[in-house]
A = this chain, B = another copy of it.
Amino acid sequence: MQRVDFYFDFISPYGYLGSLGIETLAARLGFAVDWQPMLLGVSVMKVMGLPPLGETPLKGAYSGRDFRRCFRFLGVPCRPAGAMQPLPAGRAFTWLRDADAALAKRFAQAVYRAHWSEARDMSSGAALAEVGVQLGIDPAELCAAIADPMIKARHRALVDASLARGVFGSPTFAIGSELFWGHDRLPQVERWIERGGF
């Protein structure tokens, strides 16, 4: 089965929209989606040397308005919890992913929905554990994983791998060496999958 690697950061509302779009497309066309963590704080600020999107003159004000309009356009409930600390969620996802990728995906989907559609701040281990328990994930184990130096290192290694592949934005869809940045590139992803490139 063909595979699309889906790179995302939990702090990215466009990443949430991309996650919904790629899974809808995957269900229709029949391909696998491998969710991979990336961190905008690393790619944007440390590698590209740019300020955070929200703090960029003109573009910051625009993007705050644009992402809400994109939610409305796609019919996705938009109730953002505000700025999110991404490391606990990224580490929890990494911990789950190595054991059970399908469960990790369901967890990430639930975290995205809670933070961006239900105004539930997903910055803390306690908030993440509350989401996880609904999926049968032990809260104490999840909180321990977030604080585990091995998991932190593993998360960082996955983030480094995203950079090595050229990923800098969320969402990014990767098919082999071809990268598609932005949920608005999904029509191109669709054609790429259907035709094997174009």
Contact = CB atoms under 8 A, between A and B. Distances in A.
A56 B198 CA distance: 26
Given A50-B50, A57-B168, A62-B166, 7 more contacts: A48-B58, A48-B59, A49-B57, A58-B166, A69-B188, A73-B187, A73-B188
A31 interface: no
A152 B61 CA distance: 29
Interface string A46-90: 011111000011110110011001101100000000000000000
A70 to B, nearest CB: 8
A56 B50 contact: yes
Contacts of A185: 66, 184
A61 B179 CA distance: 11
Interface of A: 43, 47-51, 56-59, 61-62, 65-66, 69-70, 72-73, 163, 166-169, 179, 181-182, 184-185, 187-188, 191, 198
Nearest to A163: B58
Contacts of A187: 73
A191 B198 CA distance: 28
User: In the assembly, how many copies of this chain are there?
Assistant: 2
B66 A58 contact: no
A150 B26 CA distance: 56
Contact of A58 (B43, B51, B72): B43
Contact of A62 (B47, B50, B73, B168): B168
A168 B73 contact: no
A191 B181 CA distance: 23
Contacts of A47: 57-58
Contact of A48 (B57, B169, B179, B182): B57
A42 to B, nearest CB: 11
Q: Which 10 A-B pairs have the closest CB atoms?
A: A184-B184, A58-B168, A48-B57, A73-B188, A59-B168, A48-B56, A47-B57, A72-B198, A58-B166, A48-B58
